[in-house]
Amino acid sequence: MYFETKQNFMSYPFKINSLEAYNKAREQSVKDPEGFWAEIASSFLWKKRWDTVLNWNFKEPKIEWFKGGKLNITENCIDRHLGTLSNKPAIIWEPNDPDENHRVLTYRDLYNKVIQFSNVLKNNGVKKGDRVCLYMGMVPELAIATLACARIGAVHSVIFGGFSAQSIADRLQDAQAEYIVTCDGAYRGNKEISLKAVIDDALVQCRFVKKVIVLTHTRTPISMIKGRDVWWEDEIKKVETMGNPDCPAEEMDAEDPLFILYTSGSTGKPKGVVHTVGGYMVYTTYSFVNVFQYTPGDIHFCTADIGWITGHSYIVYGPLGAGATTLIFEGIPTWPDAGRFWDVVDKHKVNILYTAPTAIRSLMGFGLEPLVGKDLSSLKVLGSVGEPINEEAWHWFDEHIGKKRCPIVDTWWQTETGGILISNMAGITPSKPSYATLPLPGVQPVLVDENGMVIEGNNVSGNLCIKFPWPGMLRTTYGDHDRCRTNYFATYENLYFTGDGCYRDATGNYRITGRVDDVLNVSGHRIGTAEVENAINMHAGVVESAVVGYPHDIKGQGIYAYVIYDNTHDDDNLTRLDINQTVSRIIGAIAKPDKIQFVKGLPKTRSGKIMRRILRKIAEGELENLGDTSTLLDPSVVEEIKQGRV
């Protein structure tokens, strides 16, 4: 038994080493899911073993993994590595500016810093169960703050640095988060973003916020409000004057919440996806080790932002759970030039590179020149996430980055799934360009038709569902459990519905074909069309709008907005810029439409429903074959829209 023993974690009892072992594990996981997961969970550090492996029904839904088990995820991600790995780098931080020094935090350093900041949080009144919003750039302190919350049992809610004050205020209110950790500013390429100023704007609407802890990073002038705002560095000094006390890890139930992460859906309001401590820990480490075939000593570089689920699971928790070295990169792929990623790989001898198709496509556009003189021979495994990867990008990645010797894992998953569900395992199961391929053992995907009938066999397409719980799945949407039910568990009885369409080929490989709901995937970021419409509609002069996606060479999908505007404006282009400003203010720059077409009317049915299918086709440039338009109230608007296409 592994319980309460600090076993040598460098061997991963759950690591799958061959195709045969994969097949066997997959079979066992279906036959006896509870036994399968109990064995995996047993290799983690628990303060007390669980009472039951799994309680579940998808009706409510109720999902409980390892209930009654007591643990703290930070003891698994940090403390238990101190024996063998204390001098090993846990975090390598590469700054935005290549001329600035990078930083290395060993597991011992990380431990010390997390303990210190845990005490800072406590000194500022944060208690177990309190929600703490983290709005920071990609600095190591973001990972430290995340782990410090987990250490004391506070629920972190990281908000991506590109969201606006209004978006932050909405999330703070929804989560009733009384504490914020932020930076004065953040660097992104040649831009400096005033994070604290954005927080200040958000807090005008959020008087319930008690404390804002501000890390000095850009040293840009900021306002500090007495009694509410404190400097990170001053608070650390206070802890040092106290003699740097220890901070024992709070005992958490496996089903206590670990974090809330907001994501878009088909309605106008983002959902606070809730993940819990035990299952999330087990699932992220299990999937990290297996998909990337992590071997001790590997340097892992995931290029995502910690503000998204990819960063939570595969920059912070998964790699640290495995005792790996995780690289945090502050910058962007194209600054100071399009060779920046390759410089980072070369400089830090990166072994695993996990990035997004949109980044690959954008770098492809710069040709091969940025690769000249860059030694990429350390790379062993490449990964892709966030959207379907097109074959052209796949082959470029394979040829020019992996030099045809690195397996590429195409990892399909979602904020709600906590970790990778469908993917090949590097070098173990075969890859197939543009296919996520096979489920991880423990994951049971099914395809269903519109009536919810399960589609058996191969060479079939349908809506992707999962028919059995896995430990990393969401438990609820914060403050509104019924929303979780209606969104994910009510479309098809007894199934978790992903919102994705999917094809299963002749040999059982899965290929994700994209969302089947009104959700866009722009540069790997999920954006609800309703949210963008709400923002556009707030612009003075806008009467109504409809937003759809269209194929975009780099972003995957672009945002196309049809806008009915009162006819007092004189300059279409200026009005477009104005509307974009409003969207930036309400959501953030990531949601700005790429194209805005002013129209006199929208194609509506007699019952007033917008026929998006038609708008989508026109945005895609498909002007013929618009399908049945006979149910339209006024078919002539379609002609006008076709004429005015931008």
Residues making contact with ligand WT7 (CB under 6 A): 263, 309-310, 385-388, 410-415, 436, 498-500, 512, 515, 521, 524, 526
Contacts of 386 (CB under 8 A, 6+ apart): 304, 310, 356, 357, 358, 521, 523, 524, 525
The two three-digit tokens of residue 121, written as one number: 């949080």
Q: Which of 473, 407, 572 is nearest to 561 (CA)?
A: 572
Distance between terminal CA atoms of the chain?
65
Specify the residue, 342 or 497, whose C-beta has the smaller distance to ligand WT7: 497
Specify the residue, 72 or 509, whose C-beta has the smaller distance to ligand WT7: 509
**Which element (helix H / strand E) includes 263?**
strand 257-263
Place of tokens 């209004």: 166
In the complex, least distance from residue 386 CB atom to ligand WT7, rounded to whole angstroms: 4
Q: Which of 547, 540, 529, 585 is nearest to 565 (CA)?
A: 540
In the complex, least distance from residue 399 CB atom to ligand WT7, rounded to whole angstroms: 20
Specify the residue, 304 or 614, whose C-beta has the smaller distance to ligand WT7: 304
The two three-digit tokens of residue 224, written as one number: 């500090």
Specify the residue, 218 or 463, whose C-beta has the smaller distance to ligand WT7: 463
Query: Cβ-count burial of 287 within 10 angstroms (0-12 exposed, 13-18 middle, 19+ buried)?
Result: buried
In the complex, least distance from residue 526 CB atom to ligand WT7, rounded to whole angstroms: 4
Give me the sign of the Cα torsion angle 227, 230, 234, 237. positive
In the complex, least distance from residue 561 CB atom to ligand WT7, rounded to whole angstroms: 21
The two three-digit tokens of residue 459, written as one number: 């060479």
Note the helical H segments in 223-339.
Answer: 232-241, 277-291, 309-311, 318-321
In the complex, least distance from residue 309 CB atom to ligand WT7, rounded to whole angstroms: 5
CA distance 297 to 310: 21
In the complex, least distance from residue 395 CB atom to ligand WT7, rounded to whole angstroms: 16
Give me the sign of the Cα torsion angle 595, 596, 602, 607. positive
In the complex, least distance from residue 271 CB atom to ligand WT7, rounded to whole angstroms: 11
CA distance 510 to 390: 14
The two three-digit tokens of residue 98, written as one number: 């290549």
Specify the residue, 118 or 444, whose C-beta has the smaller distance to ligand WT7: 444
Question: Which residues in 436-531 belong to E strands, given as ranges?
Answer: 445-448, 454-455, 460-466, 476-477, 496-504, 510-515, 519-522, 525-528
Place of tokens 């036959």: 31
In the complex, least distance from residue 445 CB atom to ligand WT7, rounded to whole angstroms: 13
CA distance 470 to 442: 7
CA distance 310 to 298: 19
In the complex, least distance from residue 162 CB atom to ligand WT7, rounded to whole angstroms: 13
In the complex, least distance from residue 353 CB atom to ligand WT7, rounded to whole angstroms: 15
Spacing of C-alpha 355 from chain mean position: 12
In the complex, least distance from residue 284 CB atom to ligand WT7, rounded to whole angstroms: 12
| 183, HSE (Cβ side, Cα atoms, 13 Å) | 24
Specify the residue, 74 or 285, whose C-beta has the smaller distance to ligand WT7: 285
Q: What is the torsion angle, in degrees rounded to the nearest 10, for the CA atoms of residue 37, residue 39, residue 42 and residue 44?
A: -60
Specify the residue, 276 or 417, whose C-beta has the smaller distance to ligand WT7: 417
In the complex, least distance from residue 518 CB atom to ligand WT7, rounded to whole angstroms: 13
In the complex, least distance from residue 428 CB atom to ligand WT7, rounded to whole angstroms: 17
283: phi then psi, degrees, rounded to nearest 5: -70, -40
